[in-house]
A and B are shown apart, each in its own frame.
Chain A
Amino acid sequence: MFTTLATGIKPESLDQVAPFLYLIFAGITVFSAWMIVISQNIVRMAMYLLFTLGGVAGLYFLMNAEFLAAIQLIVYAGGTLILIVFGVMLTSKNPFMRLHTYLWERFVAVGLGALLAMLTTIALVNTPIKQSASDQMVNHDIHTIGSTLLGPFLVPFEVAAVLLLVVMIGAAFMARSRA
């Protein structure tokens, strides 16, 4: 754990706080995700989504994916979420209005979500997964990420670039005012 971050700090001491960090990040993530379900106010929902995204970034951090954690914070929490907040502000006359949902609807939805979670959990528990600590574990540093992106993942990388161009054209067309 903390392969690259741990320069200067003894890894063992960080291993000791890992359970605490896990509890904190997982708690934030799950709590604010469910607060989105419960909340009736669209701005509050966006705020809770921010906490969820931050918590997920923390979990990536715990899983040796520092680069992903940074990207999650910069692109997701910093970019996509701002986009969503803009969407909220531009498309509601009163952003603080309460969204109306019936109680039975909420119960059915939560029930369905819980059912899905239960099915997935049962599948997970019944599947033998060999957790490995293999010797050939790759180093998750930025150099490996770069050469992987330009190596096996070259085509998806380039296609994502083309896709972003198309998205820009599409979004600009849909949102601009002329006819």
Chain B
Amino acid sequence: MLLSDPQWLPQLLADLKLVMPEVILVVTMCMVLIVPFFKKGNVVLPVFVSMFGLLMALLYTQGIHLGVMDADRTGQVFTNTLAIDPFSSFFKTMLMIFAMLIIVQWTLFGREKTHALDAPDFLCLLLGATFGMCLMASANNLIMIFIATESASIPSYALAGFRKKNRMATEGSLKYVLFGSVSSAVMIYGMSMIYGVSGSLQLSHIAGSINQMGMTPLMVVGLVGMFAGFAFKLSAVPMHFWCPDVFEGAPTEVTTFLSVASKSAAVCMLARVMQNLGTIVIDEQVLIGIALGVGALGAVTATWGNLVALHQTNLKRLLAYSSISHAGYMIMGCAVLLLVDPKLILSALLFYVLVYMFMNLGAFTIAAVFERQLGTLNISDYAGLLKKSPVLAILLIVFMLSLFGMPGLGGFMGKLFLGVGLVKAGTLGTVLLGVLLLNTLFSLWYYLRPCYFMVFATPDTQKQLPVIQPLRPALWAILAVCCIMLLWTGLLPAITSDIAQDNGRMIVSSAKRQIALESEHTSTVPKRVVFTVAQ
């Protein structure tokens, strides 16, 4: 839509309503920067402002989602640059809740004198990264994918090196920024090739051009380059080297944020690309080829992450490699998105991300407590911890078992739903399911190792670990929320999976999809969410 169009302004204002959560985030970011001018060195005020802003954005997202704010418009806004659909709204809701929890965690852990002075910077960078990740979830266009990825990555580089005097943090952020800029350059080069072949930046037009011209060699080169850039954000295997180093060096809050938020935002982005290809491309051969490539990436990532995790002795590094393998499982899910009913996979992915968020938050919070109070992250030092601080030890065991996928906990249900999706995808899906099961078996060993040390090992009498001080109530609250959510999603998964299934839908602009949606409308979908598909 050009400026000369008389509909430009009304259209703009109508579209603006749908991106209000992002606008609120930006306004909050500016407010956080202004606050120190009134009250210097205060932690509470900026934290309060950013929590309030996140809450507002969250409510607004839910408002859009439920159709309260604007009854009949969810769809592709701003000439198809962004897609506001149930999938992205649900993800944004989770992301904002998660960002709020991270801010609480950060406020509780920091005790240094510089903490107060750095608060606005930290919050601004965190909100900036959250903003970028929200955009990643709805990016519907190559240029939006590129800019959203960058605006999620660049604040993350700074966040990873937030402890400036810490040598490990500095080294982690150096590796992060170098890997990140190289992979984003490769991604852009791939995008230029895709543009050259298809002549458009819209994902749906690109998929359409594959229909017209077939899978040309240049398109293959372009897609490989673009997926290499995605692989960096997902920490998939050829691009995973940054992950453990950054996770070990960065402050624990940042590690938690990066391990969950940035990976799951990248999963959303990948899912949207795959969904566009899957609904529009007709040629089976092409679809199977792409699914095979992405599935292989996921399988290799999951296996590699698990194999390296087997001999980790540092709790944070162990969790880092475990997060690589979880990213692998989610990539496998994205791969079969092309071959089966997308709703099944999309809702499974949402459920998985939800569970994964609470598992990782809990595990990393306890790792941070141990790091601060015991002064060590070495797993063998935790011998006999069950007797000294039983509640923390039991909670860590719960989170570890959930990460492994113990029946009765959320992690199991997540893997189960993903597995159900995989089974439906023919031979490729079955092979991927086999990889998933084998990896789950492998992972039992390293998830149980910290548990073994805490429960059975006798503590070394030479080394006296300090006694763990009582934690602040708010920290207990975070841990309790994580634990309850895992039990709830594990024992009574019906409610959560219903919500996930309600939201497991994406908008793709094409004639074929529109017909599918309309038929879906009349039969099953309740009137809560109404689609209008652009073009």
Contacts and interface: CB of A to CB of B under 8 A. Distances in A.
A and B touch in the complex (CB under 8 A): yes
Interface of A: 119-120, 122-124, 126-129, 146-148, 150-156, 159-160, 162-163, 165-167, 169-171, 173-174, 178-179
Nearest to A148: B2
A127 B1 contact: no
B220 A123 contact: yes
Contacts of B135: 159
Nearest to A132: B199
B239 to A, nearest CB: 16
A173 B128 CA distance: 14
Contact of A126 (B12, B157, B217): B217
B151 A154 contact: no
Interface residues of B, number: 48
Q: Which one of B128, B131, B150 has the greatest number of beta carbons of chain A within 10 Å?
A: B128
A123 B218 contact: yes
A148 B81 CA distance: 13
Interface of B: 1-4, 8, 12, 19, 26, 29-30, 33, 78-79, 81-82, 114, 117-118, 121, 124-125, 128, 131-132, 135, 143-144, 147-148, 150-151, 154-155, 157-158, 161, 164-165, 193, 196-197, 213, 216-221
A129 B197 contact: yes
A156 B217 contact: no
B181 to A, nearest CB: 12
Nearest to A171: B158
B3 A150 contact: yes
**Main DSSP-derived SS at the A contact region:** helix
B3 A120 contact: no
Given A151-B79, A155-B78, A159-B147, A169 B125 contact: yes
B1 A152 contact: yes
Given A151-B8, A166-B29, A119 B221 contact: yes
Given A155-B81, A173-B158, A127 B121 contact: no
A162 B151 contact: yes
Contact of A170 (B29, B158, B197, B219): B158
Contacts of A169: 33, 121, 124-125, 128, 158
A174 B217 contact: no
A171 to B, nearest CB: 8
Given A159-B148, A163-B147, A123 B121 contact: no
Contacts of B79: 151-152
Contacts of B157: 170
Given A163-B150, A170-B157, A174-B164, A154 B217 contact: no
Nearest to B79: A152
5 contacts: A128-B216, A129-B197, A147-B2, A166-B128, A174-B158
Nearest to A122: B217
A166 B124 contact: yes
A166 B164 contact: no
Nearest to A177: B164
A120 B220 CA distance: 10
Contacts of B164: 174, 179
**5 tightest Cβ-Cβ pairs between the two chains A and B:** A170-B158, A166-B128, A123-B217, A127-B218, A163-B151
Contacts of B8: 151
Contacts of B82: 155
B81 A152 contact: yes
Contacts of B150: 163
Contacts of B216: 123, 126-128
Contacts of A152: 1, 78-79, 81
Contacts of B124: 166, 169
B178 to A, nearest CB: 13
B221 A120 contact: yes
